[in-house]
Structure 1
Amino acid sequence: MKAEIHPTYYSDAKVTCVCGNTFTTGSTLKELNIDICSACHPFYTGKQKLVDTEGRVEKFKKKYANFYNKNQSN
């Protein structure tokens, strides 16, 4: 390895999830903030959780609301 071109590696980096779960891992950042972890991810918990950070579901519903209503009346 070349000297002084690699970032500092922290073997005890603290990871904090929005659900409140914290754990340590190795990283080039000392602290990490994440949105989803294994404690709150639907695959691991068995609970379905909709993560829509940009309003895509509402945009879809608004766009196709009239189409759905037309088909219901026929």
Structure 2
Amino acid sequence: MKEKIHPKYEACKVSCACGNTFESGSVQKELKVDVCSACHPFYTGQQRTAAARGRIEQFNKRYGK
């Protein structure tokens, strides 16, 4: 690797739209993200219920009253 051409990699503060903050590594000092592991449906377990809810509504639309 060539010397003195790479940006400095250091600790950064990551802020999510939900209010969660945590430390990570980046070339930037601060990052702002829309979704993190605390609010993403895949990590919170809401993905499975949301998918089932859609299938139930689809079933009721076709065969329900």
TM-score (norm 1): 0.59
* Superposed displacement of residue 47, structure 1: 2.1
Q: 1:43: how far off?
A: 0.5
2:58 corresponds in structure 1 to: none
Deviation at 1:4, TM superposition (A): 1.4
**Higher helix proportion, which one?**
2
Q: How much identity, in percent, do the aligned residues show?
A: 66
Task: Give the aligned CA root-mean-square deviation in angstroms.
Answer: 1.1
Gaps of 5+ in 2: 48-65
Return the letter of the residue paired with 1:14. Answer: K
TM-score (norm 2): 0.66
Q: Which runs of 4+ in 1 moved over 3 A?
A: none
Aligned pair count?
47
Question: Which of the pair has the greater relative contact order for Cα pairs under 8 Å at 6+ separation?
Answer: 2
CA distance in 1: counterparts of 2:7 and 2:14, whole angstroms: 18
Partner residue in 1 for 2:22? 23
Q: Distance in 1 between the 2:18 and 2:32 partners?
A: 11
Aligned to 1:3: 3
Q: Give unpaired runs (5+ residues) of structure 1.
A: 49-74
